[in-house]
Copies of this chain bind each other. A is one copy, B any other.
Amino acid sequence: MKRDSRLSSVLHALLHMHEADGPMTSETLAKCLGTNPVVVRRTMGLLRKTGIVTSDRGPAGGWRIAADLRTVTLRQLHAALGEPAFFAIGNRNETPECLVEQAVNAALDDTFIKAEALLLERFSQITLADLAADFSRRYAERRRQGA
């Protein structure tokens, strides 16, 4: 399957919205992301449902952040997107009769469950404010070097 890049997309969009003065339109965001305005609306619409962003129609409308960057974690964003599966690999049969397959599933599940816990743990600890701060660091760094 094709990889799900929606988390990456919304993070990118949210940080640009944070840097921007007023609301940003789907059109503008789509150009930033190199995609289509409808894709932006579809994806950002999921964040609207959980109150992370708001949207306004009509002239001077667009998308705005509606939450404190320090309180929004990557885990919350992942949840807002519907908790898409992290892994592209899985068991052939989740509830096997066969003891052989049960042994196989147990070994794989043990590993993947631990990896998922690690991912969720780290996602819980990273906020949008952290990413914004990292961007600022990179920006300052570029100005220092770029003359």
> Which residues of A does B touch, CB under 8 Å?
1-5, 7-9, 11-12, 15-16, 19, 32-34, 74, 84-93, 98-108, 111-112, 114-115, 118-119, 122-123, 126, 130-131, 134-135, 138-139, 142
Contact (Cβ within 8 A) A93 B4: no
Given A1-B1, A107-B130, A111-B123: A135 in contact with B8 (beta carbons within 8 A): no
Given A74-B107, A118-B114: A90 in contact with B138 (beta carbons within 8 A): no
Contact (Cβ within 8 A) A32 B98: yes
Contact (Cβ within 8 A) B100 A135: yes
Interfacial chain B residues near A15, Cβ < 8 Å: 100, 103-104
Residue of B nearest to A9 (CB): B92
Interfacial chain B residues near A105, Cβ < 8 Å: 8
Residue of B nearest to A119 (CB): B115
Cα of A138 to Cα of B100 in the assembled complex, Å: 9
Residue of B nearest to A99 (CB): B138
Contact (Cβ within 8 A) B3 A100: no
